[in-house]
């Protein structure tokens, strides 16, 4: 997969006539990745990494105006096809509409939809709390379930969900976001359990701190913070190695293991 | 946040806000009384510093379109030349003009109107720019070019961000036959010899000289001229893909060196070693384009070798006719002070197209760039050099500058500055776009 994709990306810019029939064959046999929440920095970096490995991409998100330049960028850089589709996880019928608008069934799904939200506001306003819960978890269930069923039927496929270390234990500072991610993590875990014997793989990604639009302006400890490109590279590696759960910076696995082990009696008094 | 550019001097404590779209950028420009755009922070001094607010373009880094016939690339201004090269060299395209590092943004390349080893043949960066989308203070986003709003276009090229926020650039790439350079090196024992060599080999599209600025007397200005061109496919040995290079090994300077590391003695030793490394006379070799154009990009964070206090890069240009007198005067002054650097570069600029409003640095003549670690003795020396440069009709490169006086600047840029300010007053009458440098040099309406 990798070798073929790379040579395609390089050949594509050159106008060599004898290469064209070969290119065409390659393009039709190339796998496709569907990205939900494609304007996120992690999604863009990961889609680019897939593109460089010879994947066509379908980019879905709410803001079509923002998706277009990302798609152009991807196809110029990789020589692969990148198309854009409207998708809003919070609108029930958007899931079906997206699926109907896709020209072909994707071979892999990357779900990078996420909303940090405002914890303090959510504590006072149930509607705001619900938006966080739906955007990070329940709103994503229909499309992922649908994809999972199709993949199961086909007997192959890959589902990558961007969850969060925040879901490993609820904390005062972000438990709406954290509990939604906890639910999402558990959902992916169950899905993996169900599909592991059906040829469908599920990868849960817990990026830790990442320098993105979501964390713009926050002071992040540099040792614990990854760039979107690092996240993308570790996702590619995890896919290659058929991993199940990925902590992008390995130190996060240790940190979260310790945090999970703290007795609740002690944990409830800490401010983490 | 403490921010400084490549010279680590000066340092400001201010916010860098990074918009991801036109509308976010417009919001930031609306909500801040004054600000400056900042790309990769690879100018040396304070061109892209501001005491309170900078608009970082890192997230505006998307390639928007590429025309395979014309080589026309449209991209957002935060995209780096490094990214362009990585994508397009394997397809047989290269950036038309590049400075000695590829870690600069497109917007920065336009704002500084950068030059490269091919200035005498290809001019500066702006010559290869088809159009620019710029976010102005008064009239929103304006697409300017040599035909549409030409004044704004010329003032923006080389305008150091003082006309607005450059959002998108359409750049004409150029075809290359391979990723290899046929390089020739010529050893010159003194300044007269190197100036002769520059004239003699002016047909080579790329040329630059390293100069040993600690030499005196008969060896004053001893140098090594390096010139070359992309190697045609047929002349390459082997039959590997001529456009692909092996991954370059990168090294990093891990931390700021102690300030004692760079002394006149260590610089002198380095210079002697470097000069001796090249065989006598004329020599040919085949080198990867990366090593030819970007020798220092292989050493990440090389600015750290100058220690925490940072360094000043001092670059000026003298008109050709004044160079034979002016260059020795400058070099003598530096050698006597014993403060020379090991990254001294000499180049002969060709003719520079210029029109009113354009503040680009190059003029036909010799340009010399020198690095000096910051020390107490440095600033008086540089003040003296300023006078010599001014007396010989020369001027300084603002992308390198961190300490020039408003007076010297106004005298050396003269009418050019007035014309620039006339354009700025139309597009930015309130001086919304300003930098620490613009404040210091009083580049304001």
Is residue B58 within 8 A of residue B18, CB to CB? The reply is yes
d(CA B260, CA B243): 43
d(CA A32, CA A17): 26
Contacts of A66 in chain B (CB under 8 A): 20-21
Q: Mark the ranges of chain B whose per-residue pLDDT is less than 50.
A: none
pLDDT of B261: 65
Size of interface A-B (CB pairs under 8 A): 42
**ipTM of this predicted complex?**
0.90
Cα-Cα-Cα-Cα dihedral sign, residues B397, B398, B404, B405 = positive
Q: Let me know the angle formed at the C-alpha of B349 by B293 and B10, rounded to the nearest 5 degrees.
A: 70
Phi, psi of A205, deg, nearest 5: -110, 125
Query: How close B230 gets to chain A, by Cα (Å)?
Result: 18
pLDDT of A223: 87
Lookup: tokens for B260: 């004692």
Is residue B392 within 8 A of residue B325, CB to CB? The reply is yes
pLDDT of B335: 86
Contacts (Cβ under 8 Å, ≥6 apart) of B393: B318, B319, B322
Q: What is the pLDDT of residues B75-88, one digit of tens each?
A: 999 999 999 999 99
Contacts of B14 in chain A (CB under 8 A): none
Q: Is A23 helix (H, G, I), strand (E, B) or coil?
A: helix
d(CA B357, CA B419): 5
Proportion of chain A in helix, strand, coil states, percent, rounded to 5: 60, 15, 25
Q: Let me know how long chain B is.
A: 445
Q: Which residue has the tokens 């014993």?
A: B338
Minimum CA–CA partner of B56 in chain A: A216
Query: How close A112 gets to chain B, by Cα (Å)?
Result: 17
| Alpha helix segments (H runs only) across B64-118 | 81-88, 106-111
**Annotation says A247 is catalytic:** no
Lookup: tokens for B144: 């300017």
* Contact flag B65-A66 (C-beta cutoff 8 Å): no
% of chain B residues with pLDDT over 70: 99
Q: Which residue has the tokens 């600025």?
A: B213
HSE, side-chain direction, 13 A CA sphere, residue B295 = 8
* Contact flag A76-B59 (C-beta cutoff 8 Å): no
Please spell the DSSP secondary structure of B187-219, one letter per residue.
EESSHHHHHHHHHHTTTSSEEEEEE-TT--GGG
> Which one of the listed residues A55, A137, A177, A184 is annotated catalytic?
A177
pLDDT of B260: 60
* Contact flag B65-A72 (C-beta cutoff 8 Å): yes
Query: Which of A5, A11, A77 to mutate to test binding with chain B, by most B CBs within 10 Å of its CB?
Result: A77
CA B254 to chain centre: 25
Q: Mark the ranges of chain A whose per-residue pLDDT is less than 50.
A: 1-27
Contacts of A213 in chain B (CB under 8 A): 20, 59
Contacts of A41 in chain B (CB under 8 A): 59
Query: How close B160 gets to chain A, by Cα (Å)?
Result: 26
Is residue A152 within 8 A of residue A200, CB to CB? The reply is yes
Chain A residues whose C-beta sits inside 8 Å of any chain B C-beta: 9-10, 12-15, 41, 65-66, 69-70, 72-73, 76-77, 213, 216-217
Lookup: tokens for B445: 């309406």
Q: What is the pLDDT of residues B14-28, one digit of tens each?
A: 989 999 999 999 999
pLDDT of B340: 67
Phi, psi of B274, deg, nearest 5: -65, -45
pLDDT of A20: 37
Q: Which of A13, A41, A73 sits opposite B63 (nearest CB)?
A: A73
pLDDT of B95: 98
Minimum CA–CA partner of A71 in chain B: B64
CA B287 → CA A225, B240, B242, B277, B278, distances in Å?
38, 15, 12, 16, 15
CA A269 → CA A171, A172, B138, B395, distances in Å?
11, 10, 53, 64
* Contact flag A10-B244 (C-beta cutoff 8 Å): yes
């Amino acid at each position: 997969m990798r070798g073929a994709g790379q040579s395609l990306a390089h050949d594509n810019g050159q106008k060599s006539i004898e290469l064209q029939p070969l290119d065409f064959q390659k393009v039709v046999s190339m796998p496709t990745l569907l990205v939900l929440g494609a304007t996120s920095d992690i999604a863009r970096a990961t889609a680019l990494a897939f593109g460089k490995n010879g994947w066509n991409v379908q980019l879905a998100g709410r803001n079509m105006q923002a998706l277009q330049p990302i798609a152009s960028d991807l196809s110029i850089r990789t020589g692969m096809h990148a198309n854009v589709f409207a998708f809003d996880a919070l609108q029930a019928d958007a899931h079906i509409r997206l699926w109907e608008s896709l020209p072909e069934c994707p071979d892999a799904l990357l779900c990078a939809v996420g909303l940090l939200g405002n914890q303090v506001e959510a504590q006072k306003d149930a509607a705001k709390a619900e938006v966080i819960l739906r955007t990070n978890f329940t709103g994503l269930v229909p499309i992922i379930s649908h994809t999972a069923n199709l993949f199961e039927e086909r007997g192959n496929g890959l589902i990558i969900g961007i969850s969060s270390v925040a879901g490993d234990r609820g904390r005062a500072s972000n438990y709406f976001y954290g509990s939604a991610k906890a639910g999402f993590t558990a959902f992916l875990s169950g899905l993996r359990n169900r599909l592991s014997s059906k040829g469908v793989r599920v990868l849960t990604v817990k990026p830790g701190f990442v320098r993105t639009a979501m964390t713009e302006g926050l002071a992040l400890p540099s040792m614990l913070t990854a760039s979107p490109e690092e996240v993308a590279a570790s996702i590619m590696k995890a896919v290659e190695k058929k991993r199940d759960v990925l902590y992008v910076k390995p130190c996060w696995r240790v940190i979260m293991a310790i945090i999970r082990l703290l007795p609740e009696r002690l944990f409830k008094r800490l401010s983490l | 946040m403490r921010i400084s550019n490549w010279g680590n001097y000066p340092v400001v404590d201010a916010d860098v806000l990074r918009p991801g779209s036109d509308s976010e950028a417009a919001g930031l420009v609306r909500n801040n009384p004054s600000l400056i755009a900042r790309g990769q922070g690879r100018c040396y001094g304070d061109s892209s510093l501001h005491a309170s607010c900078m608009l970082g373009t890192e997230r505006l880094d998307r390639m928007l379109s590429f025309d395979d016939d014309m080589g026309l690339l449209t991209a957002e201004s935060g995209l780096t030349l490094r990214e362009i090269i990585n994508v397009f060299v394997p397809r047989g395209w290269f950036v038309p003009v590049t400075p000695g590092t590829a870690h600069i943004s497109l917007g920065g390349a336009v704002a500084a109107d950068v030059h490269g080893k091919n200035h005498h043949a290809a001019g500066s960066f702006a010559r290869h720019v088809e159009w620019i989308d710029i976010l102005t203070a008064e009239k929103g986003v304006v697409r300017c070019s040599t035909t549409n709003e030409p004044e704004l276009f010329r003032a923006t090229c080389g305008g150091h961000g003082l006309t607005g926020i450059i959002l998108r650039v359409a750049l004409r790439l150029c075809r290359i036959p391979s990723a290899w350079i046929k390089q020739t090196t010529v050893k010159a024992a003194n300044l007269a010899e190197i100036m002769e060599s520059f004239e003699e080999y002016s047909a080579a599209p790329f040329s630059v000289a390293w100069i040993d600025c600690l030499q005196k007397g008969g060896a004053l200005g001893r140098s090594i001229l390096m010139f070359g061109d992309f190697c045609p496919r047929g002349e390459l040995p082997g039959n590997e893909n001529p456009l692909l290079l092996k991954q370059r090994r990168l090294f990093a300077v891990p931390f700021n060196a102690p300030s004692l590391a760079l002394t006149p003695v260590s610089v002198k030793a380095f210079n002697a070693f470097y000069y001796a490394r090249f065989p006598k006379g004329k020599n040919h070799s085949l080198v990867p384009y990366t090593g030819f154009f970007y020798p220092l990009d292989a050493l990440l964070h090389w600015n750290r070798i100058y220690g925490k206090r940072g360094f000043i890069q001092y670059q000026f240009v003298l008109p050709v006719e004044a160079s034979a007198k002016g260059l020795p005067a400058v070099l003598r002054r530096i050698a006597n002070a014993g403060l020379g650097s090991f990254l001294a570069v000499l180049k002969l600029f060709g003719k520079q197209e210029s029109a009113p409003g354009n503040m680009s640095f190059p003029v036909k003549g010799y340009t010399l760039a020198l690095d000096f670690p910051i020390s107490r003795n440095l600033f008086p020396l540089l003040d003296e050099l300023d006078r010599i440069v001014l007396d010989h009709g020369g001027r300084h490169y603002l992308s390198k500058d961190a300490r020039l006086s408003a007076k010297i600047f106004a005298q050396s840029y003269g009418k050019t500055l007035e014309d620039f300010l006339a354009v700025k007053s139309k597009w930015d009458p309130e001086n919304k776009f300003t930098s620490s440098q613009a404040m210091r040099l009083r580049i304001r309406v």
